[in-house]
Amino acid sequence: MSSDTHRLSLLHQREIEARIVGPIIHAVRDELGEEKTLSLLRRVISDLARQSGTELAAQLGEATLAAFSGSLDRWREGGALEFEMLERTEERLSFNVTRCRYAEMYRALGLADLGSSLSCQRDFSLVEGFNPAIRLSRTQTLMEGAPFCNFRFVAASEPDASHAPHEGDSPTVPSPDQVP
């Protein structure tokens, strides 16, 4: 019997997680305040997502954008996401998510205030863990009320190009201690 036989869809897994951690997060927020709680939540979720990205690359046996693109069906299982593919090459992957049942689920559970922190923000860390030379740009999400989520991935052609600014990035401003 395959281990996939009893595997939960990601949507179902996130629902189980949300039903457990949602009330805990709200209780912690009541004690610590919103800013500290969301900062802690985002840090933990980012670390978990980065680890998941590393594990995904190991499972796929490669960490290319093409391999990542081939794994998108896992996120779509059970109709969890509907998207319009715009571009799919070795160097670029672009699509718009037009329906997100993750966002719908968080709203139905009364956790719309946490949906972005629990799900949307993990995408960036997942990609970073998968391959730091792949850049993700997304400027809007359905969870935040936009008409679609705009995912744009670019594979850097040179190792240090992963840190180069891309179209739509904010300029990097040095911190005061970095200024001569």
pLDDT tens-digit readout, 72-125: 998 899 899 999 999 999 999 999 999 999 999 999 999 999 999 999 999 999
- CATH superfamily assigned to domain 9-161: Trafficking protein particle complex subunit 3 (3.30.1380.20)
Residue 179 reports pLDDT greater than 90: no
Tens of pLDDT along 41-87? 999 999 999 999 999 999 999 999 999 999 999 889 989 999 999 99
Average confidence (pLDDT) over 1-18: 79
| Cα distances (angstroms) measured from residue 63 to each of 52, 154, 177 | 13, 13, 35
Angle, CA 143 vertex, CA 142 and CA 146 arms, to 5°: 35
Residue 164 reports pLDDT greater than 60: no
How confident is residue 7, by pLDDT bands cut at 50, 70 and 90?
A: confident
pTM, to two decimals: 0.80
**pLDDT value at position 156?**
86
Each domain of the chain, given as residue ranges in start order, spans: 9-161
